[in-house]
Amino acid sequence: MKDATYSCNSVTLTRSNMRTFESSQNRLYCWSPRSATIFIKIKMKKQYMLIMALTTSMITARAQSSNTTIQYNKSMQPALVLELPNTTNDVEGTILEKLKQIGYNPETQGHLFWKKNKTDGFYVFNNVVLPSLSTQKLDMYFKVVKKNNEEKNNSTLYLLVSSGNENFASPDGDTTLWNSSKMFLNSFIEKTTAYNLEQNIIAQENTVKYSQRKLATLQKEEKALAEKIKKYQDDLADNRNNQKDQQQDIENQQKLLESLIVKRKE
């Protein structure tokens, strides 16, 4: 068999003598086309992961919560606001995940998102303890809205923080509480992106599982069809044998008939 040849930096190599060699600039490697393709795919994947990491860092650097006011129960209240490049579903899911992360169980202690229990448009979670504030219990009011009709996949997240009885914190009042709440809200930037990724992974896993189940069903159907085909083939073989037997019987009966006719003429 003719030895395949490859070219690398004007040096022609055969399959039998491919090697690593030194150039004046750096070390170069020669691979077969298949190996080179695998190397390029790995390199592209690493570059993609780097771009995603840089993108997340850029979003984190630009998107920080800011002070604002928002109406609650017909009164304007001091609030924190955060713009997020994620859907309202992702943001709502992230709120639940963040509360669980700090030891709060929203499934038994708060208003459930899927039941849509809201107070004046806010999801309310009572007796939340932020790690940075030791044992101080807070009531946290979250409002998630779609940014606008043009940016349907972006959301605006509002946060009101109360020490109880709707006594809402303000940047000019309890500075420590306000800054801790701000740090907590800022953590949603990275967390929401991670939550979205996890949801995509779960969705893709479900897609893979569905495809696997469908393949298993098709394989089961194939087995059943193969068994039917074998049965039909066996039936067909029996039918052909029966035809041969029947043809032989016809010939025998025809000979008998002819002999009887001859006797009649006599």
Tens of pLDDT along the chain (266 residues)? 444 444 444 444 444 444 443 333 344 444 445 554 555 555 555 554 554 445 444 444 456 888 999 999 888 999 999 998 888 888 888 888 888 888 887 665 555 554 556 788 898 888 888 877 767 888 999 998 888 777 778 889 999 999 888 889 998 888 888 988 898 889 888 888 888 888 899 999 999 999 999 999 999 999 999 999 999 999 999 999 999 999 999 999 999 999 998 887 76
Fold of 65-198: TATA-Binding Protein (3.30.310)
User: What confidence score (pLDDT) does residue 19 get?
Assistant: 43
Query: Which residues touch 3 (CB under 8 Å, ≥6 apart)?
Result: 14, 15, 16
Quick count: other Cβ atoms within 10 Å of Cβ 136?
Answer: 14
Nearest residue to 111 (alpha-carbon basis) of 129, 130, 92: 92
User: What confidence score (pLDDT) does residue 241 get?
Assistant: 96
Cβ contact 113:92 at 8 Å: yes
Note the pTM of the prediction, 2 decimals. Answer: 0.58
Quick count: other Cβ atoms within 10 Å of Cβ 14?
Answer: 11
Q: How far apart are CA 145 and CA 109, in angstroms?
A: 23
Q: How far apart are CA 105 and CA 129, in angstroms?
A: 11
Strands (E), the chain: 5-8, 11-14, 20-22, 27-29, 66-72, 75-84, 123-129, 137-146, 155-162
Secondary structure of residue 170 in the 3-state scheme: coil
Name the residue ranges covered by the structural domains of the chain.
65-198
**Could you identify the residue written with the tokens 């044998």?**
241
